[in-house]
Chains A and B, each alone.
Chain A
């Protein structure tokens, strides 16, 4: 019964994506062009990375609101270091390290101080974001030396390089989660922390790994963003929490932990970006996206409860309970 549930979710997701593609192909002549498609692929790369990061965190039963901020921070570090001429390898290393460091800090607060992940990452998001503003003095950094930025123009078999990075990362993390011992542990911690602990799993270590990975992947997203737009923006990833959380939840990962899939999250991000693309192609107000996302978020997470409430409003014979005893029912 459960096998088909998972498959059902995927089928629905794929179906949604296919529907959007078909609709847009009909409605807009420029949709199905190479230029447009590759632009979509490039643009969804960063958010796709963030979705991968958040998926891991959700599966472990946690919550990471700081992904967008880490993205901005690493991007800023990357851009600035690059601007002063450091070798690319070093720049990359330091930028990733920064992301990892923030992730470790999050983990410290959550594991060692036992604070709630939501509030912790809300606070660190704010802290990191303001560090970014301070570093960039609130303005956009442009005119970065080419060189590694040209990766943004790099194509393998006509597919944007950044998109390939996304796919490769997705595959690696997916394999990690499904086929390695540490991946299993992440699921189990999300399933029930106490059970995992009593079964010999070091829950704290697993959480550290999860948040560090999240920070690392968010850092990658930040670097990718800088490469793509060839500039550093202090507002990078500002809207990430909503978009990423929605995409991940649509994709079948639950907020409670223990279940989830990278593939589903990526499909969710794809659907979102296709929608966004559609909006711009059809000259619709892009702000509709936020509205729709908000609605989808509530409906998807609450669908079980909503359908239950509806059933109660319109009870069928089957759901009516029988009162056995006659006496005064108070």
Chain B
């Protein structure tokens, strides 16, 4: 029913989709899987009409189409339920379902009777019994989702794309959603079900497509494949990725974490970090790694647990400033939102972390500042015209290098890198790996969070697998391979 042909899309520095082609049969539940960064969300946005600039073609029932807006996609029968729901809490269920196309009498007066009746119809079709007059803001997320699904039905959608629909649902609500999906299927509606949860995909989908590194790896009927197969498709890749060699061994204990818990985010996290080593944290979205890292850094409080620094000092940071003073540095996964001051220059973005060094008393020693920045940026080869360039104009990779350089300038002992190579080209990635190596050779310790398995495997000495806020297994570099880890992450017991 939907044919995707040779679709590619690039962003500065990264090719998000590379010649993706596959077909979605009508009336099926078609699963789309892939790691973070594999290109799933880019593809969804193209199909939904959010991204209009891409190469390749998309056809619906044989007719080529090109959506210029979300609206036009909807008019062609493609509706998307994004992870961030687009409901209006202030308005009622019926108003949300019919937003923008409310049945009106002359003069723009809403025909409430008609709207409410139709809403009840749609909801009944989905076997849901809610009053159409209730404000959506007071509903549970599961019900809000149902409102969105109803919205797409009312649009006469032929295909509904669901993006990680179960990420905020309880077990029970997931069951209900699946019943709903069945009902939709029985009525000839096609569903593109995007998720990283293998169990769910296998339960509900008829066909599964896998993306990896922006490329389409394969599409198989669910009955003709199994978990191992899919995992292999998701992670197996020709190991063209090089990792710089690492030498040097473990040094002293830098960090000892015991029983770190924060209700609803992470539970009973315990691990040790030694100088000279990199420990990797693998996990899927929602695993709780960032939350845990932020609590180590003092941005988030935790309910219970103990953190000991350098073997003797018990710490509980209340502010990032404290963490930095004690030699713990954090690289945020949200480069643009938290990592950079986009409108400011490279120089300013770097000097923010060395303020104490360049201004011992009150006044900033401009010369010292300039020299420090110049020497550090030379060492880490940030590509730029001058340090007075606006950071916004740099490529993703170079932006990241600026931030990393900034962190390095703090001369910390413990570094927490959260998705440091996300959205960055291969060359820059390699340079960042080298930087990490250099750090460990100097005796520093690194906590490395990443959703790219080959990376985690290639660079970590030890790997912790997190799932739903808990550490489920620890691997040594030698005993781990991508498939085993993906197994653990998606819920299977390790082989």
Contact = CB atoms under 8 A, between A and B. Distances in A.
Nearest to B393: A1
21 contacts: A2-B388, A180-B364, A181-B359, A181-B364, A184-B352, A184-B359, A187-B348, A191-B344, A194-B337, A197-B320, A198-B320, A198-B332, A199-B324, A199-B406, A200-B320, A200-B323, A325-B64, A327-B66, A328-B63, A329-B68, A330-B65
B66 A199 contact: no
Interface in A295-330: 321, 324-330
Interface of B: 53, 55-57, 59, 63-68, 72, 75-76, 297, 299, 319-321, 323-325, 330, 332, 337-345, 348, 351-353, 355-356, 358-359, 362-364, 366, 385-386, 388-390, 406
Nearest to A175: B363
Nearest to B73: A330
Nearest to B71: A330
A200 B353 contact: yes
Given A180-B364, A181-B362, A325-B64, A330 B341 contact: no
A114 to B, nearest CB: 17
A258 interface: yes
B57 A258 contact: no
A326 B363 CA distance: 62
Contacts of B364: 179-181, 183-184
Given A181-B364, A258-B344, A330-B67, A199 B352 contact: yes
Contact of A330 (B66, B299, B348, B385): B66
Contacts of A192: 338, 340-342
Nearest to B49: A330
B66 A188 contact: no
Nearest to B345: A2
A196 interface: yes
B474 to A, nearest CB: 28
A180 B59 CA distance: 61
A156 interface: no
Most buried by B among A183, A195, A328: A195
Contact of B353 (A181, A199, A321, A326): A199
A84 interface: no
B65 A327 contact: yes
A326 B345 CA distance: 42
Contacts of B338: 192, 194-195, 198
Interface in A1-25: 1-3
A183 B63 CA distance: 61
A276 to B, nearest CB: 32
Contacts of A137: none
B66 A191 contact: no
Contacts of A324: 55
A201 B57 contact: no
Most buried by B among A1, A198, A326: A198
A202 B337 CA distance: 18
A199 B324 CA distance: 8
- 8 tightest A-B contacts by CB? A191-B341, A327-B64, A200-B321, A181-B359, A330-B72, A192-B341, A200-B324, A194-B338
B355 A185 contact: yes
A327 B64 CA distance: 5
A155 interface: no
Given A179-B364, A188-B352, A198-B332, A3 B388 contact: yes
B347 to A, nearest CB: 10
B362 A195 contact: no
Nearest to B369: A184
B341 A328 contact: no
A196 B68 contact: no
A130 B152 CA distance: 54
Contacts of A2: 345, 388-390
Contacts of B76: 330
A43 interface: no
Most buried by A among B65, B66, B352, B389: B352
A137 B123 CA distance: 65
Nearest to A324: B55
Nearest to A188: B352
Contacts of B55: 324-325
Contacts of A196: 341, 352
Nearest to A3: B388
Nearest to B64: A327
Nearest to A257: B343
Contacts of A184: 348, 351-352, 355, 359, 364
A197 B300 CA distance: 12
Given A325-B56, A327-B59, 12 more contacts: A2-B389, A179-B366, A180-B359, A180-B364, A181-B362, A192-B338, A195-B341, A200-B319, A200-B323, A201-B321, A321-B53, A328-B65
B143 to A, nearest CB: 30
B324 A187 contact: no
B343 A328 contact: no
A1 B65 contact: no
B53 to A, nearest CB: 8
B341 A329 contact: no
Contacts of B388: 2-3
Contacts of B342: 191-192
A258 B343 contact: yes
A288 interface: no
A183 B362 CA distance: 10
A256 interface: yes
A330 B75 contact: yes
A291 to B, nearest CB: 31
Contact of B344 (A181, A259, A321, A325): A259
Nearest to B365: A179
Contacts of B63: 327-328
A254 B390 CA distance: 15
